[in-house]
Amino acid sequence: MKSRFSIIAVAAAALFLTSCATINPGEVGVKVKRGVLDKKIYTSGQVPIGPYAQLIKVPVRTVNKEVKLNLPSKEGLNVKAEISILYHIESADVPQIIEEIGTNYEEVVILSVFRSASADICAQFYAKDMHSGKRGEIEKEILNKMTSLIGDRGFTIEAVLMKSISLPPGLYAAIEDKLEAEQESQRMEFILQKERQEAQRKIIEAQGTADAQKILADGLNQHTIEWKSLEVLNELSKSPNTKVIITDGKTPFIVNDDDGKQ
């Protein structure tokens, strides 16, 4: 009797295990039974399913989808690009996505909308812009356009990243020549600015010297000369040496000193 119960238990356990499905972390699942979608959402763990049921698992973690395509530019060139799309699905919208789009939602919605949005946005920029500081602006505009088209259908576009850009032959050389010319222009502007500053400094210095001379000349009037002459006489009077001074009261003139010099 014991062995009989053991066989039944093993069979029941095997039947239970074969009628269960595992949902991994970062996934959710919905059941489809006889063609009817169950709106209940199952999270990670073991999910029992009946003999006529099917469990559809959908990742809700962040997905990185890399796409290679040719992008049009404003001047009509084709630019080869490799772009990553980071997106995830909102768990609550999984049943609606499965019911309205199906399990191939990435190809039907994500990639289709991305190709259209990226072509529309890049056609507004020159090829060199995709390889310069405007790359971030292009990425942001593609993301915003995708969000406006599918954001309300359960898809969240986290980022659009332009990983590599291959410009048409000859355009790289043209860009490098332009950058070199801009750098040379900036260098010359720096030199000219420095020369202008030096010239301005010399003008200010010359003006200061001229002003000082003018002030000195203006101050040397007859009264000032007479006053300075009196100061000289005063200093001479304090000298211990004997001197003969002829003066008209305005300007002293030394005739000789103790050594007999004239």
Tell me the residue type at 84.
S
Which are the contacts of 111, defined by CB distance < 8 A and separation ≥ 6?
65, 67
SS3 of residue 64 by DSSP: strand
Is pLDDT larger for residue 137 or for residue 255?
137
Taking only the tens place, the pLDDT of each residue in 84-95 is 999 999 999 999
User: For residue 141, what pLDDT is reported?
Assistant: 96
CA 183 distance to own-chain centroid: 20
- Distant-in-sequence, close-in-space partners of 71: CB < 8 Å, separation ≥ 6: 78, 79, 80, 81, 118, 119, 122, 130
Q: How many other CB atoms are found less than 10 A from the CB of residue 52?
A: 9
**Which residues, 6 or more positions from 31, have their beta carbon under 8 angstroms from its beta carbon?**
37, 38, 40, 42, 47, 49, 53, 54, 55, 56
Mean pLDDT of the chain: 79
Rounded Cα gap, residues 233 and 228, in angstroms: 9
Sequence letter at residue 165: I
Q: Return the domain boundaries, the chain.
A: 16-59, 63-173, 223-256
CATH number for 63-173: choose from 3.30.479.30, 3.20.20.70, 1.10.150.20, 3.40.50.1110: 3.30.479.30
Q: Return the H-helix or E-strand segment holding 55.
A: strand 53-59
Express each pLDDT in 137-190 by its tens digit. Answer: 999 999 999 999 999 999 999 999 998 888 776 665 555 566 556 666 777 787
Residues counted in the chain: 262
**Cβ-based burial of 121 (10 A; exposed 0-12, middle 13-18, buried ≥19):** buried
User: Where are the alpha helices (H) located in the chain, listed in sequence order?
Assistant: 2-18, 94-100, 105, 112-122, 135-150, 171-219, 222-237
Q: List the beta bridge partners of residue 70.
A: 80
- Between residues 1 and 41, which one has the greater pLDDT? 41
pTM above 0.75, yes or no: no
